[in-house]
């Protein structure tokens, strides 16, 4: 009989607001101690042994998921200057090759960065922030070979093919070139908290020690980064907290000039700016909960100078703005669905891109050209793979450039999707996106996986997943619960699922699960739930509140030790998260967080079968949170349901790197679910 690992306990006191909490597993924070490493390896060994009887299924799932990929797939080329840029994979290789052709698509291919070469001998490799100099002769890129999202800035001379010796460590993978092809601005992060807090200017050929600090963000609730306008005329430094923004600007052809503040930061005022002609356009939530678009003459601004371009609408959330020489394109959200809204600025004429599916995702794709009559956008649904279109903005003509090819006999007609609505305990209607194989009945006999996120105002879209087909083809129903804490129904949806209203997120998710059972779509003994990161916290809280509702659960890199983490300002993310969860140094927020924090609310009860995944190098959710949670559950929970922890010792928050690595974890997760269903005898 398999025996799960047992963690020793140490009485570590955590005192605040007159309360003392004992954390018996606080010692697990000792990252490189042999005891911690031994414990993590023991948990991994236990998980492997517990799932050994499904090893063949895991391998079959992995090969099945890989088999749906086109071995030598490539992206749709994008015109930038004189070149067409694209990336492609070669059969059997795990990483992309970044390529370009000069003048036409028939020209000779130039591979200007082969990530497979960079990854040789490495267990993890990630490239981020590819940025070309304006003359297209120098490439800047960030390289992370640990998984902690700390990038070394490297330069490659595209005329010689040489990667230069000069490199800059501890960047965030965020870069912007000045128009002189010599100066590059980059963001750097604090070594302890990993908060992006400094902007530097680097000159090619000079030692990084000579780089000038241009801006330091001293407010520890803000991050900062750099950007460049689509017009190429301006550089921006953006300081951003969850609820506040401040933008500085500089002409891109004056890299040694003085940066100016566009509009000083104000509490609860979020904005972004873009350049067109003689104006900056502002996407702002000033007196506009769901945002509106204003414009102002170029230069430091005050709101008295602003002219309204697109008014606020109570039922439409403005999510992003793309500005071209003659057009403005807004990505909007209404009733949980995305829309693309286009304005012709000289005439004021408007058009909406039409979409037909009941549930879908549409988004503005790569559009680097400023002076253009063509808009590239993407479209997909839960039953149809991602498609790339070009829309002629004058004629309205649409051209399909590419639809993602799915190998393995996939036919979209074999799947069905629909929108449902559940009623929360306070009467709020919660949208649900559901997909299943056409042969899977919705009569209560089929297993169902309920998925959600529900934080930071991030909306979960009803997108396509080739990986998910491995569940759908085995008779699973898959559901996305669009719960409060996201922004699917507008900015109020986010506001009603944070701070002292955070519990709406959890009760909404439970309401969706109860609805699915009550309506006879599934049964509680075959209902499963899953979430990752803040969605993993959701799972942890929900199974504390309603362990009887779900037969099994998966929590990926879960943020479960909410109070302890939010009290520790020395670890990544904490101070910037106060605008999301609240500051526990305030006793009101402390008590509220404590009332739902999964780790703090583990009790002696029968929990669903549970699989927890983690990344040892995770910079977002430290590995010890899920590790402590599992140890406490092992000690306290009743019953004999499975409790498994799998820690990837080579990766971080995003899981394994490479094209295929993520499918190993997915194969374990799916095998875990399928095994539980088979035990029930469900066909």
Beta carbons within 8 Å of 518's beta carbon, 6+ residues apart: none
Question: With helix as H, strand as E and coil as C, how does 483-550 read?
Answer: CECECCCCHHHHHCCCHHHCHHHHHHHHHHHHHHHHCCCCCHHHEEEEEECHHHHHHHHHHHHCCCCC
Whether 653 is catalytic: yes
| Cβ pair 187, 224 in contact under 8 A | yes
> Under a CB-based contact definition with an 8 Å cutoff, are residues 539 and 553 in contact?
yes
Beta strands 643-648 and 609-615, pairing class: parallel
Which residue among the candidates 183, 239, 653, 657 is catalytic per the annotation? 653
- Please state the φ and ψ torsions of residue 666, each to the nearest 5 degrees: -60, -40
List C-alpha distances in Å: 427 to 121, 323, 374, 478, 490: 56, 39, 44, 24, 17
Provide CB contacts within 8 A for 201, sequence distance 6+.
Answer: 183, 184, 185, 211, 212, 214, 255, 256
Sign of the CA dihedral running 36, 37, 38, 40: positive
Inter-residue contact 282 to 276 (CB < 8 Å): no
Rg (CA), the chain: 25
Phi, psi (deg, nearest 5) at residue 20: -120, 125
Q: What is the distance, to the nearest Å, from the Cα of residue 55 to the centroid of all Cα atoms in its chain? A: 30
Residue 199's closest CA among 164, 162, 163, 174?
Answer: 174
DSSP string, 609-677: EEEEEEETT-SSS-THHHHHHHHHHHHH-BS---EEEEEETT-BTTBS-STTHHHHHHHHHHHHHHHHH
Give the separation between CA 574 and CA 567, rounded to whole angstroms: 8
Q: What is the DSSP letter of 370?
A: S
Burial of 465 (0-12, 13-18, 19+ CB in 10 A): middle
Closest residue by Cα to residue 659 from 116, 57, 129, 110: 116
Residue 293, strand partner residues: 283, 310
* Sequence-ordered list of residues with C-beta below 8 angstroms from that of 612, at least 6 positions apart, any chain: 536, 554, 555, 556, 558, 626, 629, 630, 643, 644, 645, 646
CA-closest candidate to residue 273, choices 252, 246, 253: 246
CA atoms in the 13 A half-sphere facing the CB of 557: 21
Residues 330, 312: Cα–Cα separation, whole Å? 13
Give the chain's length: 683
CA proximity to 176, closest of 187, 190, 161, 166: 187
Here the tokens at position 561 are 């030790």
Listing DSSP states for 136-149 in one string gives S-EEEEEEESSSSS
618 catalytically annotated = yes
Catalytic-labelled residue, pool 133, 533, 597, 651: 533
Rounded CA gap, 672 and 642, in Å? 10
- Distance between CA 541 and CA 574 in Å, rounded? 20
533 is catalytic: yes
Catalytic residue (one of 618, 619, 657, 675): 618
Write out the catalytic residue numbers. Answer: 533, 618, 653
């Amino acid at each position: 009989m398999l025996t799960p690992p047992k963690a020793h306990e140490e009485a570590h006191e955590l005192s605040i607001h007159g309360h003392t909490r004992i954390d018996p597993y606080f010692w697990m924070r000792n990252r490189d101690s042999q005891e911690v490493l031994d414990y993590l390896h023991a948990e991994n060994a236990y998980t492997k042994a517990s799932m050994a009887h499904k090893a063949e299924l895991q391998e079959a799932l992995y090969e099945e998921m890989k088999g749906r990929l086109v071995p030598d797939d490539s992206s749709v080329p994008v015109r930038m200057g004189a070149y067409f840029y694209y990336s492609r994979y070669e059969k059997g290789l795990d990483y992309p090759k970044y390529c370009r052709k000069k003048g036409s698509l028939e020209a000779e291919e130039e591979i200007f960065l082969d990530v497979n070469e960079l990854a040789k001998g490495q267990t993890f490799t990630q490239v981020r922030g590819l940025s070309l100099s304006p003359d297209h002769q120098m490439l800047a890129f960030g390289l992370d070979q640990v998984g902690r999202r700390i990038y070394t800035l490297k330069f490659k001379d595209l005329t010689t093919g040489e990667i230069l010796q000069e490199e800059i460590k501890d960047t965030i993978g965020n870069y912007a070139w000045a128009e002189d092809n010599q100066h590059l601005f980059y963001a750097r992060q604090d070594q302890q908290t990993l908060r992006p807090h400094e902007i530097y200017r680097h000159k090619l050929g000079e030692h990084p020690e000579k780089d000038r600090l241009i801006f330091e963000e001293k407010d520890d609730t803000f991050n900062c980064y750099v950007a460049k306008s689509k017009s190429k005329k301006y550089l921006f430094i953006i300081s951003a907290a969850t609820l506040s923004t401040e933008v500085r600007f500089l002409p891109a052809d004056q890299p040694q000039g003085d940066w100016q503040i566009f509009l000083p930061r104000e509490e609860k005022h979020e904005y972004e700016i873009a350049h067109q002609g003689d104006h900056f356009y502002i996407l702002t939530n000033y007196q506009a909960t769901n945002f509106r678009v204003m414009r102002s003459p170029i230069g430091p601004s005050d709101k008295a100078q602003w002219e309204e371009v697109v008014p606020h609408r109570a039922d439409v959330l403005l999510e992003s703005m793309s500005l071209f020489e003659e057009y403005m394109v807004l990505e909007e959200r209404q009733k949980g669905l995305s829309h693309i809204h286009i304005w012709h600025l000289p005439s004021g004429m408007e058009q909406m891109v039409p979409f037909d599916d009941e549930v879908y995702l549409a988004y503005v794709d790569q559009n680097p050209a400023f002076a253009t009559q063509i808009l590239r956008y993407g479209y997909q649904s839960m039953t149809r793979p991602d498609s790339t279109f070009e829309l002629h903005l004058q004629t309205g003509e649409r051209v399909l450039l590419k639809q993602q090819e799915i190998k393995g006999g996939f036919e979209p007609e074999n799947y069905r999707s629909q929108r449902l609505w559940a009623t929360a305990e306070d009467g709020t209607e919660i949208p649900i996106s559901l997909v299943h194989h056409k042969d899977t009945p919705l009569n209560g006999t089929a297993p169902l996986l309920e998925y959600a996120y529900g934080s930071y105002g991030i909306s979960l879209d009803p997108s396509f997943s080739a990986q998910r087909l491995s569940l759908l083809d085995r008779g699973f129903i898959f559901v996305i619960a669009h719960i409060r804490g996201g922004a699917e129904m507008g900015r109020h949806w986010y506001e009603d699922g944070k701070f002292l209203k955070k519990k709406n997120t959890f009760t909404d998710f439970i309401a969706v699960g109860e609805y699915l059972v009550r309506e006879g779509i599934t049964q509680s003994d075959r209902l499963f739930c899953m979430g990752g990161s803040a969605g993993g916290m959701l799972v942890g809280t929900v199974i504390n509140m309603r362990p009887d509702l779900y037969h099994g659960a998966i929590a990926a890199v879960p943020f479960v030790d909410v109070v302890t983490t939010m009290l520790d300002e020395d670890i990544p993310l904490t101070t910037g998260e106060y605008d999301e969860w609240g500051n526990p140094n305030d006793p009101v927020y402390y008590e509220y967080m404590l009332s739902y924090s999964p780790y703090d609310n583990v009790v002696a009860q029968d929990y669903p079968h549970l699989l927890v995944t983690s990344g040892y190098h995770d910079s977002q959710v430290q590995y010890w949170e899920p590790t402590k949670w599992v140890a406490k559950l092992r000690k306290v929970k009743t019953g004999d349901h499975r409790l498994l922890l799998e820690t990837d010792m080579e990766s971080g928050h995003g899981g394994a790197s490479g094209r295929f690595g993520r499918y190993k974890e997915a194969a374990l997760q799916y095998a875990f679910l399928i095994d539980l269903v088979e035990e029930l005898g469900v066909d």
